[in-house]
Amino acid sequence: MTSHVSSVSSTTSRGAELYARAQNVLPGGVSRNAVLRDPYPLYADHAQGCRVTDIEGVTRIDFANNMASLIHGHACPQIIEAVTEQMKRGTAYNIATEVEVVYAEHLTSRNPGFEKLRFVNSGTEAMMVALKASRAFTGRPMIAKAEGAYHGVYDYAEVSQSPSPANWGDIDHPNRVPLVHGTPQSVLDEVAVFPFNDTERTIRILDENADRLACVLLDLMPHRVGLNPADPEYVAAIHDWCTSKGVLLVFDEVITFRAEYGGLQSHYGITPDLTALGKIIGGGFPIGAVAGRADIMDVLNPSAAKLLFPHSGTFSANPISTTAGLTAMQMFDKAAVTRLNALADRAKAGINQAIKETGVKACVTGHGSMFRVHMKATAPKDFRDAYPTPDESKQLKALLAHMFDNGIILINSGSSTLSTPMTETEIDTLVGAFRSGFEKLVAMG
């Protein structure tokens, strides 16, 4: 049973007190901006399954799941047991472990395109390794990426991550917009930016940079671009272009690997040269991985006649993360994937019905066990379509506040990610909260 928001005054709550203390020692009072909310962040006390209880004693259903990383929710008994046994034997060593090999075997078994794999410590680090491996293999410096797509905090990957109408430029040649003040011009010069889901413009931009491109980086369903799956024809066109030009195709499946047993790429029937993984493959612990063609992955091989990409990491493939990840992914078998995706389909159908019956201006996008509600009548095709107007931002803020007050935690974009402890009961609760939220928005005008 979900309890609702406490009546404790925001000026006397433990959360307010903690936030006041945090601002003295943490920039902005947080270590990750995603936890910020008005008037102060939630502070967790404990969590179990798909529910989180904060330090005020309020319990909510968690549809954020730590930004899509908790496929089995919180405090999964099987993961706790496996990790506890491993912790008794040690948390990290300066020697290899058997579980690293076993887990690599499991992940490569899920997708025939994963011929070899290397573990790292986060999705960002996986993207860094994938891009650097592409440069090492091709000998070329440049990458291409979709406008608005998030790929972690590597300088090159974050170019044009958050452009705005004021600086994004002509759609025919989107500007290379830095995210962080002080980003070197040399970084911007090595990134080509193309509009997502626009085949003609994308191929033209790729052609203009073909002789300098190491890889094309693509998320098949980028969250910040609208969480709308790429058109199959668009993905096929990029794949064919890369093949013909000798440019590597890199898929970012840090979030989307949960969508299908072998990742979202298996839905398209297209095999990239490299794939970056993270989030759910850690079983709730920090992890990342790069998988792909054996000859490309071998740029990392220290036994090669000429080592092209020396790489190491103190906590890479640590036995805690690999044990948790192996346990989680063995549990997330084909039947579990199918069941969770069916629950997501139920949620999307219910939300769409609520949109239709309330008359609110909204739509739902997504695939697999993730979906996003937009305050737009039509599903966005690219980042510029997805970019919210001031009125849409105001409506979304009101909707998120309503959901929160009704015991639902969402990602602040309006996105939901499911976890295996969820049942039809939680899904129907979510749909009901969306419906009442839509009704409130319509009444507000």
How is the chain split into domains, by residue range? 14-71+334-444, 77-331
Q: What is the mean pLDDT of residues 329-348?
A: 98
Model confidence pLDDT, tens digit, residues 346-386: 999 999 999 999 999 999 999 999 999 999 999 999 999 99
Query: Residue 399: pLDDT above 80?
Result: yes
Which strand ranges, in their side-by-side order, compose the sheet holding 274-278? 116-120, 288-292, 274-278, 248-252, 213-218, 142-146, 191-194
Question: Residue 9 — very low, low, confident or very high, per pLDDT cuts 50/70/90?
Answer: very low
Owner of token pair 């290397």: 118
Could you tell me the CA-to-CA distances from 398 to 5, 98, 371, 437, 440 in Å, in that order?
16, 50, 19, 8, 9
Q: Which has more confidence, 322 or 1?
A: 322
pLDDT in tens, 153-172: 999 999 999 999 999 999 99
Residue (of 95, 90, 118) closest to 275 by Cα position: 118
Tokens standing for 390?
Answer: 């001031």
Check pLDDT > 60 for residue 88: yes
Q: What is the mean pLDDT of the chain?
A: 96
Q: Given a cut of 50, is residue 24 above it in pLDDT?
A: yes
Residue 213 pairs with which residues in a beta bridge? Answer: 142
Angstrom distance (rounded) from CA 419 to CA 409: 13
Note the pLDDT of residue 38. 87
Three-state SS annotation for the chain:
CCCCCCCCCCCCCHHHHHHHHHHHHCHHHCCCHHHCCCCCCCCEEEEEECEEEECCCCEEEECCHHHHCCCCCECCHHHHHHHHHHHHHCCCCCCCCHHHHHHHHHHHHCCCCCCEEEEECCHHHHHHHHHHHHHHHHCCCEEEEECCCCCCCCCCCCCCCCCCCCCCCCCCCCCCCCCCCCCCHHHHHCEEEECCCCHHHHHHHHHHCHHHEEEEEECCCCCCCCCCCCCHHHHHHHHHHHHHHCCEEEEECCCHHHHCCCCCHHHHCCCCCEEEEEHHHHCCCCCEEEEECHHHHHHHCCCCCCCCCCCCCCCCCCHHHHHHHHHHHHHCCHHHHHHHHHHHHHHHHHHHHHHHHHCCCCEEEEECCEEEEECCCCCCCCHHHHCCCHHHHHHHHHHHHHHHHCCEECECCCEEECCCCCCHHHHHHHHHHHHHHHHHHHHHC
Q: Indicate whether 2 pLDDT > 90.
A: no
Instruction: Give pLDDT, residue 31.
Output: 94
What does the pLDDT read at residue 11? Answer: 53
Average pLDDT on 95-119 reads: 98
Residue 1 has pLDDT above 60, yes or no: no
> Using H for helix, E for strand and C for coil, what is the string for 62-131?
ECCHHHHCCCCCECCHHHHHHHHHHHHHCCCCCCCCHHHHHHHHHHHHCCCCCCEEEEECCHHHHHHHHH
* pLDDT 10s digits, 277-334: 999 999 999 999 999 999 999 999 999 999 999 999 999 999 999 999 999 999 999 9
- Degrees to nearest 5, angle at CA 245 with 243 and 251: 50
319 within 8 A of 99, measured Cβ to Cβ? yes
pLDDT in tens, 64-83: 999 999 999 999 999 999 99
- 198-255: per-residue pLDDT in tens? 999 999 999 999 999 999 999 999 999 999 999 999 999 999 999 999 999 999 999 9
Q: In this structure, is the dihedral angle defined by the CA atoms of residues 38, 43, 46 and 50, taken in order, positive or negative? A: positive
Pick among 3.10.20.520, 1.10.3720.10, 3.40.640.10, 3.90.1150.10: CATH of 77-331: 3.40.640.10
* Nearest residue to 163 (alpha-carbon basis) of 189, 184, 145, 141: 145
**Token pair listed for 63:** 């549809």
- CATH code of the domain made up of 14-71+334-444: 3.90.1150.10
| Distance, CA of 254 to CA of 197 (rounded, Å) | 20
- Look up the pTM and report it: 0.95
